[in-house]
Chains A and B, each alone.
Chain A
Amino acid sequence: MTTKTEKEISTPVINVEHLAKSYGDINAVDDISFQVMPGEAFGMLGPNGAGKTTTVEIIEGLRTADSGRVSVLGLDVAIVPVKIKQRIGIQLQAPSLLPLVTVQEIIELFAGFYKRSIPADDILDMLALKDSRKVLVKNLSGGQQQRLSVAMALINDPDIAFLDEPTTGLDPQARRSLWSVIEDMRRKGKTVFLTTHYMEEAERLCDRVAIIDHGQIIAMDSPRELINTHFKESAIQFELNPAPPEVILQSFPGATQVIISDSEIIVYSDNIPATMSSILKYAEKVNLTEQLKDLYVREATLEDVFLKLTGRKIRE
């Protein structure tokens, strides 16, 4: 038993090799390879339609790949999907719940599908659903349904929990309470596979992040490393209408990269004071000081990494 555990620690729980899947002409997943280690919180980050859900659902055994190999917990997904499903928990992007059953009933129903499950009470406690245990699913709020959907993914005390955009559509408070559930799982040594398009979420929750765009992984590392690798500089963000020409911004001392979307402008700089004063001088010169709004300096984030790598904002 001990030797087996040791062995599991040293081998990845998810191993994806050259995975590809296309729908017609669109390469939804285009030659993706990565590994997830036991106890790791792994995030897949990318805009809608980047191929996150397709990738996750192939790993979960819900879709078949065109080519490539996927193993989960040392088992080949294409060969023993049911055996794997006993040991993983899946939260789908859409809540997908039966409308006419109560919270407690649906938890107990799904618990009945697994060999191993944790008591409904514990799960309801964990996701703050105890007060609504007797409420029919159709009468739950969007946030409650989302939490219930996560609860259903944890009912079998899974070795790996797959959460596909678990906080989409939640208000900030509900999002934070779900984050603490995920942090709890990390503390317990569970592996968490998370997809999200919230950078903040990935930065806070994930040990490692793969940034995915057009079906390909364009960068993969810990959030800190990703930022440090791509940015020695900080970001100056402001609004100015009309936006100055890019060439002019590029010519400011210290400016390394400029991104303009509508009237929102980000100038990355390794010399903040010099760049900042150039911006202010420019605004004065073109008589737009009144139009200069929300000017602030911040550290680079994952969002900036994505922007730098793709030239696009993640939610466009």
Chain B
Amino acid sequence: MKAFSKLLISDLKQFFRDRTALFFTFAFPIIFIFIFGWVFTGSGSVSYDIGLVKNEGSTVGEKISQMLHQIPIFETSEGEFEDKLKELEGGDLRAVVVIPDDIDTYIISGQTAEIEVYYDPAQTTSAQIILPVLRQSIDEVNRQITQQPILLHLTEKSIQAHDLRDIDYLVPGILAMSILFLGLFGSIVLVERREKKILKRFGATPLNRSTMVFSQVAYRLILALVQTLIIIGIAYLVFNVQMVGNWFLLLGLVMLGTLTFISIGYFAVARAKTTEGAMPIIQIIQFPMLFLSGIFFPVDFMPDFMRPIIAIIPLTYLGDAFRQVMVEATPLYPMSLNIAILGAWLVICMILAIKLFRWE
């Protein structure tokens, strides 16, 4: 017990003397929150520049023009076709709507008039956001002209108790990412100490290996809890992301996640001879997890063959569990499944690490 607490205190002291470690553990996730926070909270003022080409005297043209001006995400400007097309090509406009000169004549005679929209498919937002909004607006004008009654109306009802903003989705993801880093990089310390023969020096004393490993794990758990409080604190104070769930469940998940990633890390570098050899192994594990786990963006668009990978990586489950408990996001999996899969990873990797780890 004396050896355990001395090692733990010594490791904490060393951590606070190591500026690189301090930065990556505390500053890095906070910087992440700020960057994402600013990017996503700014989304309310985003607008798209739209060009409109129409005949001045046209009644229908005027109606469409009014409609477009009312749409908050559009900044509509009128002008000649040639000029507007040039602006679109130059990237100053996202789309150009062209209303035919004789549109009134068409409508009076009951014929369908063609309204053309020019857009640049290279600008992905044009297709994804602008075109559907335009389509809807033209439909609305169409309905007003034809005076057809509204028979079907769609009312949108959120199943969330409160609306989830992007930042709400992200903060649990950033916490999961931090836990991933903290856990996986724990193994690098061990490899470094093995390489520098510090493990051998410890082995020359009566200190037993399990005490040494347990103190390392306890040290990581303490860092994980401090990190969690900092991330949640910053997210609440700066971006008003409220932690709505059960604190005990959250802290339990933080510890489970940390233990899981520590054991994955220890297993992964069990045979790595040097720190330089261990780093790429850790990165190969870490990067696919970051992008395939859905902690930063939903993974719905991933191709089918990726599904089994997504369904097996532990970060998917930690991220989902954090989102459920922190911001009450809709569960992807039941909480018990999240915990069970993380637990399975923990146990399997721990056994493999114990079997495979080389102390010298």
Given A112-B3, A113-B3, A92:B204 Cβ within 8 A = yes
Chain A residue nearest to B7 (CB atoms) is: A109
Q: Is the CB of A100 within 8 A of B205?
A: no
Chain B residues with Cβ below 8 Å from A90 are 204-205
Q: Is the CB of A96 within 8 A of B198?
A: yes
Chain B residues with Cβ below 8 Å from A239 are none
Q: Is the CB of B14 within 8 A of A101?
A: yes
Q: Which of A85, A96, A113, A114 contacts B197 (CB 8 A)?
A: A96
Interface residues of A in 88-103 (CB under 8 A from B): 90, 92, 94, 96-98, 100-101
| Nearest-Cβ distance from residue B102 to partner chain A, whole angstroms | 81
Q: Is the CB of B204 within 8 A of A60?
A: yes
B355 at the interface (CB under 8 A from A): no
- How distant is the Cα of A94 from the Cα of B208 in the complex, in angstroms? 21
- How distant is the Cα of A134 from the Cα of B200 in the complex, in angstroms? 25
A110 at the interface (CB under 8 A from B): yes
Given A96-B200, A98-B198, A136:B17 Cβ within 8 A = yes
Chain B residues with Cβ below 8 Å from A82 are 206, 208
B interface: dominant SS: helix
Chain B residue nearest to A82 (CB atoms) is: B206
B2 at the interface (CB under 8 A from A): yes
Question: Which residue of A105, A112, A115 has the most chain B CB atoms within 10 A of its CB atom?
Answer: A112
- How distant is the Cα of A85 from the Cα of B208 in the complex, in angstroms? 11
B6 at the interface (CB under 8 A from A): yes
Chain A residues with Cβ below 8 Å from B153 are none
Question: Which residue of A82, A94, A113 has the most chain B CB atoms within 10 A of its CB atom?
Answer: A113
- Mark contacts of A62-106 with chain B using CB atoms, 8 A cut-off: 1 yes-contact digit, 0 otherwise: 100000000000000000001001100010101011101100010
- How distant is the Cα of A152 from the Cα of B201 in the complex, in angstroms? 10
- How distant is the Cα of A165 from the Cα of B197 in the complex, in angstroms? 16
Interface residues of B in 1-30 (CB under 8 A from A): 2-3, 6-7, 10, 13-14, 17-18
A108 at the interface (CB under 8 A from B): yes
Interface residues of A in 153-199 (CB under 8 A from B): none
Q: Is the CB of B197 within 8 A of A92?
A: yes
Given A96-B196, A96-B198, A62:B203 Cβ within 8 A = yes
B207 at the interface (CB under 8 A from A): yes
Chain B residues with Cβ below 8 Å from A114 are 205-206
Chain B residues with Cβ below 8 Å from A152 are 201
Q: Which of A105, A108, A113 contacts B207 (CB 8 A)?
A: A113
Interface residues of B in 140-187 (CB under 8 A from A): none
Q: Is the CB of B206 within 8 A of A105?
A: no
Interface residues of B in 305-348 (CB under 8 A from A): none
Q: Is the CB of B204 within 8 A of A97?
A: no
Interface residues of A in 234-274 (CB under 8 A from B): none
- Mark contacts of A292-309 with chain B using CB atoms, 8 A cut-off: 1 yes-contact digit, 0 otherwise: 000000000000000000
Q: Is the CB of B200 within 8 A of A62?
A: yes
Given A96-B198, A96-B200, A85:B10 Cβ within 8 A = no
Chain A residues with Cβ below 8 Å from B201 are 92, 96-97, 152
- How distant is the Cα of A115 from the Cα of B2 in the complex, in angstroms? 10
Q: Is the CB of A97 within 8 A of B17?
A: no
- Mark contacts of A110-146 with chain B using CB atoms, 8 A cut-off: 1 yes-contact digit, 0 otherwise: 1011110000000000000000000010000000000
Q: Is the CB of B206 within 8 A of A100?
A: no
Chain A residues with Cβ below 8 Å from B197 are 92, 94, 96
| Nearest-Cβ distance from residue B359 to partner chain A, whole angstroms | 10
- Mark contacts of B194-217 with chain A using CB atoms, 8 A cut-off: 1 yes-contact digit, 0 otherwise: 001110111111111000000000
Chain A residues with Cβ below 8 Å from B13 are 100-101, 105
| Nearest-Cβ distance from residue A86 to partner chain B, whole angstroms | 5
Q: Which of A92, A100, A115 contacts B200 (CB 8 A)?
A: A92
Given A62-B204, A85-B204, A112:B2 Cβ within 8 A = yes
Q: Is the CB of A97 within 8 A of B6?
A: no
- How distant is the Cα of A100 from the Cα of B12 in the complex, in angstroms? 11
Chain A residue nearest to B15 (CB atoms) is: A100
Given A98-B10, A100-B18, A112-B3, A85:B196 Cβ within 8 A = no
- How distant is the Cα of A82 from the Cα of B74 in the complex, in angstroms? 76
- How distant is the Cα of A187 from the Cα of B6 in the complex, in angstroms? 33
- What is A's interface to B at a CB cutoff of 8 Å? 60, 62, 82, 85-86, 90, 92, 94, 96-98, 100-101, 105, 108-110, 112-115, 136, 152
* Sample (16) of A-B pairs whose CB atoms are under 8 Å apart: A60-B204, A62-B204, A82-B208, A85-B204, A90-B204, A96-B201, A97-B198, A97-B201, A101-B10, A109-B6, A109-B7, A109-B10, A110-B205, A112-B7, A113-B3, A113-B207
Known contacts A92-B197, A113-B206; 13 additional CB pairs below 8 A are: A60-B204, A86-B206, A90-B204, A94-B197, A97-B198, A98-B14, A100-B17, A101-B10, A101-B14, A108-B6, A112-B3, A112-B6, A112-B7
